[in-house]
Amino acid sequence: MQNSEQKPPLAGTGERDLPTVPLSALQHYAFCPRQCALIHNEQAWAENFLTAQGRVLHERVDGGEPETRKGVRFERSVHLSAERLGLTGIADMVERDLRTGSLKPVEYKRGRPKPTAMDEIQLCAQALCLEEMTGQTIDEGALWYMQTRHRVPVIFSDGLRAETLNAIRQVRELLDSGTTPLPEYGKHCKACSLIEICQPKLLEKDKSVGYVEGLFGE
């Protein structure tokens, strides 16, 4: 629908009408840019025990009915879309305080809290979507981890917001390029369900591509 009022540029990009980035791609990228490209550029997927556990957990959470307890409305499997940010995806749960109307995204994870901010970035991106959809400021959310059965509050600070916007830019550049980065083998590879497709040890040792490029490159 056309609007006479000019829309502001996409937050963090300076552009308009960019292809949408799936929220899930942000966590895939934070885990490994090559994994992100394999899944979202090459449409590759494989499941292992860890991903199966995560899938079952999300099916259990997302499949539940909305409910109200102690003045809080719990909405499950909430579809999110942010045109200005170019994001789309699903939040496991959004809690709404019936007294204040404030919203809080909650993401469920199979494992335990991670040393990096990959989970916090995905959750913050959900909050940014909710802010664009509702016009209200989302101050905090929460991560629930199955292994520890513990809920971790997450404050959407200016630093986390900036880190999230930067991650969105990086993921968009990767998806727009259509390329897949070369592997960098590390400890995280052992937990990746795509390790047989990726072959990080094999490809990392294969120097023939670089050798040929060196011979014929400018």
pTM of the predicted model as reported, rounded to 2 decimal places? 0.73
CA gap 128, 100 in Å, rounded: 19
Residues 6+ away with beta carbon under 8 Å from 82: 88, 128, 129, 132, 133
* Residue 168 and residue 82 in contact, taking contact as beta carbons nearer than 8 Å: no
Angle at 180 between CA 175 and CA 185, to 5 degrees: 130
Query: What is residue 190's DSSP assignment?
Result: G
26 or 56, which is more confident? 26
Q: What is the pLDDT at residue 180?
A: 86
45-54, 85-94, 140-149: the lowest-pLDDT one: 45-54
- Counting Cα atoms < 13 Å in the Cβ hemisphere of 71 gives 6
DSSP letter assigned to residue 18: P
What whole-number distance in Å separates Cα of residue 81 and Cα of residue 134?
11
- Cα–Cα distance measured from residue 57 to residue 144, given in angstroms and rounded to the nearest whole number: 11
> Model confidence at 62, in pLDDT bands (50, 70, 90)?
low
2-16, 48-62, 192-206 — which is least confidently predicted? 2-16
Write the DSSP symbol of residue 194.
Answer: T
CB distance 61 to 92 below 8 Å: yes
CA–CA distance, 11 with 14 (Å, rounded to integer): 7
| CA distance to 42, 45, 172, 178, per residue, from 36 (Å) | 9, 10, 11, 11
CA distance 167 to 65: 32
Q: Is the pLDDT of residue 74 over 60?
A: yes
Average pLDDT, the chain: 79
* 149, burial (CB in 10 Å: exposed 0-12, middle 13-18, buried 19+): exposed
- List pLDDT tens digits, range 154-209: 999 999 999 999 999 999 999 998 888 888 887 878 777 776 777 777 766 554 45
